[in-house]
Amino acid sequence: MITKKKKKNGILADTQNIGDYVAYYLKQLSSELNESPRVELAAKTRLEASVIISGWDKYKGGQVYEVTLGGTQFRKVSYSAGGSGSAFIFGYCDSMFKNHEELYNSAEKCKQFAIKALSLALLRDTSSDGLIRLAVVTKKGVQRETIKPLDPLKSSEPFTNI
């Protein structure tokens, strides 16, 4: 689904254009197939960018793919982090996915993890606008939310609890 977005400049505009291209391509493919295309196919569109593709399809369920710069390599992953704040949270993400098996089976636990991880990234990232734009993808569709980040310095619950 292509949605109308506020015009941005620079890298953000490029990223939005790539998203629009992929959405258009998948919409066209969907009309040819008379069904939604596989998520894996979106990751194989040979994009000239480093992006994260995620979604749900009836063949493989929920999936996350990382596409490398140049679009030549893609791989299915448990989670992925990208963008200006991602460098600040890779250790946190690795630790959480290693020590919390429930993240693989609970959409709500994954959502709480994402909010905490993004809150930590926003604490250090000066290139962000300070909001979390979260999309939960399930077989029922996509639910989008805009959330103010948690303050890990004022939180009563440790960020290592899910």
- Kindly report, residue by residue over 99-127, the tens digit of the pLDDT: 777 777 788 888 888 899 999 998 888 77
Q: Enter the CATH code of domain 1-77.
A: 3.60.20.10
DSSP secondary-structure letter at 2? -
The fold for domain 84-162 equals Glutamine Phosphoribosylpyrophosphate, subunit 1, domain 1 (3.60.20)
Query: At a CB cut-off of 8 Å and minimum separation 6, what does 26 contact?
Result: 36, 37, 41, 42
The domain locations on the chain are: 1-77, 84-162
Which of 53, 54, 59 lies closest to 33 in space, CA to CA? 59
pLDDT of residue 146: 92
Instruction: Give residue 64's pLDDT.
Output: 83
Domains 1-77 and 84-162 alike in fold: yes
pLDDT value, residue 139: 83
What distance in Å separates the CA atoms of residue 60 and residue 137, rounded to the nearest whole number? Answer: 13
* pLDDT at residue 2 is higher than 70: no
Q: Share the mean pLDDT of the chain.
A: 79
**Residue the block writes with tokens 């440790």:** 158
Q: pTM to 2 decimals? A: 0.67
Cβ-in-10-Å burial (0-12, 13-18, 19+) of 7 comes to exposed
